[in-house]
Amino acid sequence: MHRIAYFFTLLFLMLSCDTDKKEVKIEEAPIMYEASEMTLLMRGMYEFNKAARLQIINKDSLLPFPEEFLLIHKAVLTDPSERDKEFDTIAEQFIKAQKATFSAKSDSRSYHFNKTVNLCISCHETRCTGPIPKIRKLLIH
């Protein structure tokens, strides 16, 4: 039983923001974790952009900008203190770049797309570093 909890804890730490947490409490590790609104939104943004990346590379038409992304301005965070001035500024720039990606002509889409991904990374550099390698793979070279 403890082994299972330990495995899930490790898996969770690998996939989520908390990769820098050294302490793994095997005894108390809950098997199910409740994801915050922001976590759920972020997972959706990741999947959507992963699909958009291929559409851009293949020169397919893109879906419209998903209005739910605007929830970045108010979704509840696991640690609400992470929503500071810098967060709001980057979130603002991120939404602008993301919108530009979906309205751009096909030859400038990858430019706006990469700008968007770099803004994902800028925000993550200071508050949720775990997913950075995965986000970086979205960049179109």
Q: Out of 11, 21, 31, 43, name the contact with ligand HEC by CB under 6 A.
A: 43
Q: Quickly count: other Cβ atoms within 10 Å of residue 120's Cβ.
A: 22
Q: Which stretch binds ligand HEC (CB under 6 A): 20-28, 32-40, 58-66, 103-111?
A: 32-40
The single-letter code of the amino acid at 104 is: A
Is 36 in contact with 76 (CB distance < 8 Å)?
Answer: yes
Q: Out of 5, 8, 16, 118, name the contact with ligand HEC by CB under 6 A.
A: 16
Is 120 in contact with 94 (CB distance < 8 Å)?
Answer: yes
> Cα separations (Å) of 27 from 2, 32, 73, 86?
7, 14, 36, 37
Q: Which stretch binds ligand HEC (CB under 6 A): 13-21, 24-32, 56-64, 100-108?
A: 13-21
Q: Is residue 119 involved in binding ligand HEC (CB under 6 A)?
A: yes
Based on CB atoms, which residue is closest to ligand HEC, 5 or 132?
Answer: 132
Note the maximum CA span of the chain.
Answer: 54
Which residues in 48-107 contact ligand HEC (CB under 6 A)?
Answer: 49, 77-78, 82, 87, 90-91, 94
Based on CB atoms, which residue is closest to ligand HEC, 114 or 131?
Answer: 131
State the sign of the Cα–Cα–Cα–Cα dihedral 111, 117, 120, 122: negative
Q: Is residue 124 involved in binding ligand HEC (CB under 6 A)?
A: yes
Is 128 in contact with 140 (CB distance < 8 Å)?
Answer: no
Rule CB under 6 A: which residues touch ligand HEC? 15-17, 36, 38-39, 42-43, 45-46, 49, 77-78, 82, 87, 90-91, 94, 119-120, 123-124, 127-128, 131, 135
